[in-house]
Structure 1
Amino acid sequence: MKTHQIAAGRRTLIRGFTAVGLAALTGCAAGERASSPPSASPSAAPAAGPPAARALNPSAYRLRPMAGYEPQRAATAKLTVRHKPILSMDFERGERAMVLTFDDGPDPRYTPDILRTLRKHDVRAMFFVCGEMAVDNKDLLREMADDGHVIGNHTWTHPLLTRMTRSGMRPEIERTCEVIEDTVGEPPAWFRAPYGAWNRAAFRLGADLGMEPLAWTVDTLDWNTPGTGTIVTRVLRGAAPGVVVLNHDAGGNRSQSVSALREYLPQLIDDGYRITVPRRRGI
């Protein structure tokens, strides 16, 4: 997909699809994220963040034929089907812990820099990867796993799931699970719907594959390249125990996201926050 087409597509999705997708959420309230500190309740309504961008590198987005696809993975223990995504983490009372997440990658232009910064400060993060990016960048998946990061499922091609049939969703989610498991040796335990748009079928398919649905509480809006300083300010202002921060490491020019992480991460640590990942499913 060409750069100008991606930009145009993003604007179209923001104007036309986000409201439709969020309206389809089961039991979830639509609307922009509140400016007050996020609730620690995992059943709170999801933030209505704008869509994540698609990646620019055509060679990294070769789509394998889906017709007749039959997953080869072993059956995964099913979870209870949620009606709302998890928005924040319930860490121990009084613990100043936060979670950083990165969507749409891995992208060899930006993900390695993010991994280096996380490694420098000895912290762990979550990466919600798209299968069509992961399949051509398996070395980065292995690097994530070796560093102790959590790899989540962000579908294969980043579609708006609420506009798809259940049968159309299934290969998008299953194929990404398979690539992750084949590469790092274990299936993903977490799933994030593209554009933050969930519906009943998405929740059920994720649970059937053993994944908990994770949204976010602080949206950096870094996909819109608002400037490094703006991204830093949004993270620091939204910082609170249990917060889940949404960033992107692919889908466009993510140099601002890379630079912002270098600035806000040491500040969060200096402020006494422990940057970590879930210790178990559904924490």
Structure 2
Amino acid sequence: MDLRKPRKWLAKHGASTVLVLAVLMIFTLTFGDKILPVWKENELKPIYGAETQEKVGAVVCNIYWGTEYVPDILKALKERDIKATFFIGGMWANDNPEVLKQIVSDGHEIGSHGYSHKMHSKLSLDENVKEMEKAANAIEPITGTTISLFMPPSGDFGQATLQAAKQLNYKTIMWSCDTIDWRDQQDDVLLGRVQKKMAPGGIILTHPTAATARIYGQMLDYLTGQGYRLCPVGELIAAED
């Protein structure tokens, strides 16, 4: 091994380059199956969770489909007196007003998941605003609540998305623990992801699927058994506002 190579590389590229690479290595963090980008100065950022050492977290459920599994999810939450955050697609709200009213009646928090599940990173600022406003116009008359949280479909967003959300006084929410239940339907796989990835201040992402409905109670029992207090996203992040 030529011990002179690192010195030659440093001489060629300069100490400043080494410093930049070191910073990139430190700030590239993995949350669930996503890589958090290194944000540029003054760029808007979404919220992936709360900065806390307290064992507190939030469970969210994104709904565009899977209506038949929502009652079982609501039952699991109600039996344990746990409140979650449901991010609702505008199109789904139009088609399922009674189910949405039941979610609200059970005391859960409602956020926006856009209107028609578009890839928001591909939309202009104006298009982002229109999509979010269309969703709110579908959801708010049914729920009687004012939306303050937005979770982009597929976790897809750009700076225009974040700017549009800010313009509408929404906080853009992401997640730190992804069950990936839209793809995988093995109970042990979904539970294993929660057990492995949940951490203080975390946000767990779920969807209404057959497997999710089966394991919801087990997931909640595991988390509370580990000492976690589960609350809606709005409450989780309120202390950082």
Structure 2 unaligned regions, length at least 5:
1-26
Using structure 1 for the length normalisation, give the TM-score.
Answer: 0.67
Distance 1:203 1:131 in 2: 19
Q: 1:191–1:206: 8 Å Cα contact kept in structure 2?
A: yes
Distance 2:240 2:220 in 1: 25
Q: 2:48–2:175: 8 Å Cα contact kept in structure 1?
A: yes
Alignment partner for residue 87 of structure 1, among 37, 43, 48? 48
Alignment partner for residue 36 of structure 2, among 45, 50, 55? 45
Q: Deviations over 1:47-100 (max 9, x none)?
A: xxxxxxxxxxxxxxxxxxxxxxxxxxxxxxxxxx96111010245xx5311100
User: Over alpha carbons, which structure has the higher Rg?
Assistant: 2
The amino acid across from 1:119 in the alignment is K
Matches within 5 A, 1:129-208: 129-208=88-167
Q: Percent same amino acid among aligned pairs? A: 26
Over 3 Å counting, the alpha-carbon distance change for 1:260 and 1:102 in structure 2 is: same
Distance 1:152 1:237 in 2: 26
- Across the aligned residues of Structure 1 and Structure 2, the Cα RMSD in angstroms comes to 2.5
Q: 2:175–2:205: 8 Å Cα contact kept in structure 1?
A: yes
Q: Deviations over 1:95-134 (max 9, x none)?
A: 3111001113464311111111100110011111110001
Q: Which residue of structure 1 lines up, in the alignment, with residue 16 of structure 2?
A: none
Over 3 Å counting, the alpha-carbon distance change for 1:155 and 1:282 in structure 2 is: farther
The amino acid across from 1:235 in the alignment is V
Q: Which residue of structure 2 lines up, in the alignment, with residue 75 of structure 1?
A: none
Alignment partner for residue 234 of structure 1, among 193, 198, 212? 193
Structure 1 unaligned regions, length at least 5:
1-28, 36-43, 47-80
Q: 1:191–1:214: 8 Å Cα contact kept in structure 2?
A: yes
Using structure 2 for the length normalisation, give the TM-score.
Answer: 0.78
Q: Which residue of structure 2 lines up, in the alignment, with residue 33 of structure 1?
A: 31
Q: In the TM superposition, what is the alpha-carbon distance from 1:30 to its structure 2 partner?
A: 8.4
Q: In the TM superposition, what is the alpha-carbon distance from 1:231 to its structure 2 partner?
A: 0.2
The amino acid across from 2:87 in the alignment is F
Q: Which residue of structure 2 lines up, in the alignment, with residue 122 of structure 1?
A: 81
Distance 2:131 2:64 in 1: 15
- Which has the larger helix fraction? 2
Over 3 Å counting, the alpha-carbon distance change for 1:272 and 1:89 in structure 2 is: same
